[in-house]
Amino acid sequence: MVHSIPPMREGLILKLSCPDKPGLVARIASYASEYQANLVEFNQFTDREKGTFYARLEIDTSGLEIPLDDFKAGFEVLGRSLGAHWHFRHLPYRMRTAVLVTRTDHCLNEILWRATLGEMPVEITSVIGNREDCREIAEKAGLPFHFIEMKEDKESGFREIDAILEAEDVQLVVLARFMQIMPPWMCEKFAGRMINIHHSFLPAFIGANPYRQAYERGVKLIGATCHYVTSELDCGPIIEQEVERVHHHHSVMDLVRLGRDCERSAIARGIRYHVQDRIIIDGVRAIVFPD
């Protein structure tokens, strides 16, 4: 029998970055305790080279002595005094997510399975494919499947996809082995909200048949990279990576099998970290606070 993970408690997630200085943790914790808010998780990181402090807090507000909106508004005084950038998210929630696919289905199946288990708070609005291969999987899961022709007029196809994302009020776009290069305007529109899975440690073995290339080079490790999509191909901030050891007796198909496992694990963790607000994007890198 499969048991789902208990739902998230009511409260807030706070993400924050600011110039580093003594006493930051104490000042943030003191603000919460002043109004009887309970810090159930506090992750922090200081980049000493940049002098920047990053933090993610999960706050139980069930005992809050003031209205929630007043608590958030009152934090603005502290946030400004710290020179901070911050973001609150209400708990619980489910992030509206669209999954884009082409032929292969292992990443799609992993996402559907983990969403069913309750491992990540997502509401999958639909599956969008430039081929029909994944239609049956989507429809068996009770999800709409949109087929978008992407042959000669790719710009028209991307405009169709964008219209679907707009109509479904999508907050996160997941490229689950969607084998098309996203146009710059879509990368900009969904900056920080579009996740891709790549079949290697970037930037290695790009182009066609990556596992054949890896096999011919006699690699000892293969992996997968989950990253945010930017207009510079496969160069967005890296969220998560996974590896598997390769031995001399492994065939090309063995590498494909191991690679699929890497891709499934990396994309699942990448989505979970994003929807749980465990990532702060800092330029070309992602600061990740794993669960």
Give the bridge partners for 39, in sequence order.
59
Phi (first) and psi of residue 91, to 5 degrees: -110, 145
**In the chain, which residue ranges form alpha helices assigned H by DSSP?**
24-34, 68-81, 106-117, 135-140, 154-167, 184-189, 210-216, 252-275
Cβ atoms of 200 and 214 within 8 Å: the answer is yes
Cβ atoms of 189 and 229 within 8 Å: the answer is no
- Report which of 238, 81, 101 is spatially closest to residue 179, judged by C-alpha positions: 101
Q: How far, in Å, CA of 225 to CA of 176, rounded? A: 12
- Which residues are tagged catalytic? 234
Q: How far, in Å, CA of 108 to CA of 172, rounded? A: 15
Helices H, strands E: what count in the chain?
8, 13
Residue 153, both tokens: 């007029």
The residues, any chain, with a CB within 8 Å of residue 32's CB and separated by 6 or more, are 38, 39, 57, 59
- Report which of 202, 190, 258, 254 is spatially closest to residue 227, judged by C-alpha positions: 202
Q: What is the amino acid identity at position 238?
A: I
Cβ atoms of 202 and 227 within 8 Å: the answer is yes
* DSSP for 30-74, written as a single string: HHHHHTT-EEEEEEEEEETTTTEEEEEEEEE-TT-SS-HHHHHHH
